Structure 1
Amino acid sequence: MSMTTPPGWYADPGVPGSERWWDGNGWTAHTRPLGGGASYQQGHQPSYQPAPRQPGPVPRRRSVFLGVVAGGLMLLATVVAGITLFGDDGTKTVPRSAPTTSEPAGGPTGGGDESPTAEPSADPDVLVDQLNGITLPIPDDWEKSDSMVDRAVTMTTVADRECPGETNRYCRYGRVMSSTATQTDAATPEALAKEDIQDASDALYDEDSIGNALYGGVKSHTVVRSGAVTVAGRTGYLVRWKVETGSGPGGHVQSLAFPSTIGAESLIVVRFAFDAGSEGPPLSGMDTITKGIRAIGDTTGGVGSSIGPS
């Protein structure tokens, strides 16, 4: 019988000294120091006394053999660690495999007795931005994405196609990503949305992070909507462009900015990219997702209320 590792904080297999949240299906972006749920008790580690050596010399042939074996094991461990910690491009990655232990960090070795609490990220019908304290409803025929772009949580359409401007590459028809606004002096949602829309257009339709023009580049744009909007009970602002690309039918890109519902109420920016054309998602989906954004734990009426976390 197969066993599924329950959601919880586990030792991060890619970052020693840290714990990472396992949502029951895969690793999330949320980390904390090892034992963050309970302090370690010092001085209670079991002592170890090596067994006395047996009299008499060890034959030289056996010593050489043991040295070769030990060296080989060390080399194998180094190679495995390199594969685990670094991707093909040298960037640090986290393995997608489940934790191998059924006991969460903070157990006997950590001195804690608390069991992990469930995170709403296990709900297949919502995309959870735990850092910013919000959930976004996932439309039919969409799915959560494993990729992290600029530390944003992302969802995409299930369907994809060969990118119009690139062969042997595939693009999703729709993408939505939520993140905390950083590297900006914008003090209001309106200022942030108007500032971010150009960057969103460039990132989603002009060139990707390594310079590939997947849509043949953005040739022009038209502002189709701009104005205030209520998001999760907060006053936000959105700007929506229709972009014409060098290849394919182009699409719509939107920057939605609003204050977080937690902490210092930092500004959140949600970027939308819906491909145009008959196979692209309906543009009304942008409004549906916007209306369904909720603070984590909010079960009030309206779009998305039935799929909010408990």
Structure 2
Amino acid sequence: MSMSTPPGWYPDPNQPSVERWWDGAAWTEHRRTPEYAQVAPAQQGFGPPQDTPQGPTSVMPVASRGGGRAKVVALGVAGAVLVAGIVTGAVALAEDDGDPRAGTPAPSATAGSSPTPTESEKESASPSADPDPDTLVDDLNGITLPVPDGWEKDDDSFGGGATIQTPDIVDCPGDSGLCREGTVTSNTVTGTDETDPKALALGDIKDAADAAYDKDKLDNKPYGGITGHEKVKEGQVAVAGRSGYFVRWRVHTAKGDGGYVQSLAFASSVGSESMVMVRFSVGAGKDAPPVSVMDEITDGIRSVDDSATGGGVGDDVGPTP
């Protein structure tokens, strides 16, 4: 069965001296120098062929994140067992005298033809624990996000950006469905040449509010729709050593308590330094996380190539009314 290569950094077929991001279906315009490969190396054996820019379609897929290494090892072990089985069958056919009437069963495999996995191999083939559950790595945008206490990484958000979220799912107050009290997602800014963080944040905040509290992807209204909003604050802020800009709204909904949304824009410090948009949504109910978690996460965003990089740029610039 023909399957596409999983997303990741691979050698650029048109410029082998740099790496280019393959999104699972096509090459993007994100590029970086090989020095960043030490931070997030491409998955061995799954790179796109150098002479086919459109990318391969004949390799087995793996999860985009969360246990990726363990699954690659598991595929390798499974492949070895399959090969051993094929060899055993070939030996059995070769030793058959060719008489269709014989009816003699094929000889059993010898002790060495299909070795029993060692304990270390069994451990390697088993899903491994997350080595760093407190940090979410967004390789595409070159950043890491802290996972607050009581939150979790979303390992099923393939194609929807790098996401952290509150683990509890509750019934939505509006249309039928399930809702969370908090989500934070980072994405590359697309569809515009704008590079001013302030302009991007101001232009994105309504879309962020609609996505969180108006209509979902099925055109339902989990909160009965948005009835109004007010700006809580906005301003320049340091993000991973870069000057960014954020806008925060308090959103009111027809049903339920509504919540808070925030759009945070800044430039990535790696690769082609594309603009990044991080969207926050936190409920306003008594069981929701405190709104201060938005500041906690913003302060903890780092560049993947410099874990010590934090504030410094724009820290002395206070929020504007």
Structure 1 length as normaliser, TM-score?
0.61
SS at match of 1:9: coil
Instruction: For residue 43 of structure 2, give the secondary structure of its aligned residue in structure 1.
Output: strand
Question: Hey, what does 1:163 align to over in structure 2?
Answer: 172
Amino acid of the structure 1 residue aligned with 2:251 = V
Q: How many residues align?
A: 224
Distance 1:242 1:296, change over 3 A: same
Residue identity opposite 1:259 in structure 2: A
Identity %: 46
Q: Choose from 190, 195, 214 the match for 1:206.
A: 214
Residues 8 and 21 in structure 1, CA contact (< 8 A), matched pair in contact too: no
What residue in structure 2 maps to residue 26 of structure 1? 67
For 2:59, the equivalent position in structure 1 comes to: 17
Q: Trace 1:1-310 onto structure 2 (pairs within 5 A).
A: 9=43, 16-17=58-59, 20=62, 25-27=66-68, 122-148=131-157, 150-167=159-176, 169-300=177-308
| Residues in 1 aligned to 2:309 and 2:191: alpha-carbon distance in whole angstroms | 35
Compute the RMSD of aligned alpha carbons.
3.7
Partner secondary structure for residue 191 of structure 1: helix
The CA deviation string for residues 35-54 of structure 1, in whole angstroms up to 9 with x for no partner, is: xxxxxxxxxxx9x9x96997
Counterpart code for 2:174: G
The DSSP-based 3-state class of the residue aligned with 1:224 is: strand
Residue 257 of structure 1 and its aligned partner are, at CA, apart by: 0.5
Q: Could you say if the C-alpha distance between residues 299 and 163 of structure 1 is closer, same or farther in structure 2, counting changes exceeding 3 Å?
A: same
In structure 2, what is the equivalent of residue 3 of structure 1? none
> What's the CA shift for 1:16?
3.4
- AA of the residue aligned to 2:272: A
Partner AA of 1:26 in structure 2? G
d(CA) in 1 for partners of 2:239 and 2:192?
21
C-alpha contact (below 8 Å) 1:163/1:214 kept by paired residues: yes
Give 1:186 shift: 2.1
Tell me which amino acid in the other structure corresponds to 2:222.
L
Q: Could you tell me how far apart the structure 2 residues matched to 1:213 and 1:165 are?
A: 6
Local SS of the residue matching 2:289 = coil
Deviations 1:115-161 (A, max 9, x none): xxxxxx74100111111111111111101112326530111112332
Equivalent position of 1:107 in the other structure: none
**Which amino acid is the alignment partner of residue 264 of structure 1?**
S
Q: 2:227 and 2:156 mapped to 1: Cα distance?
A: 27
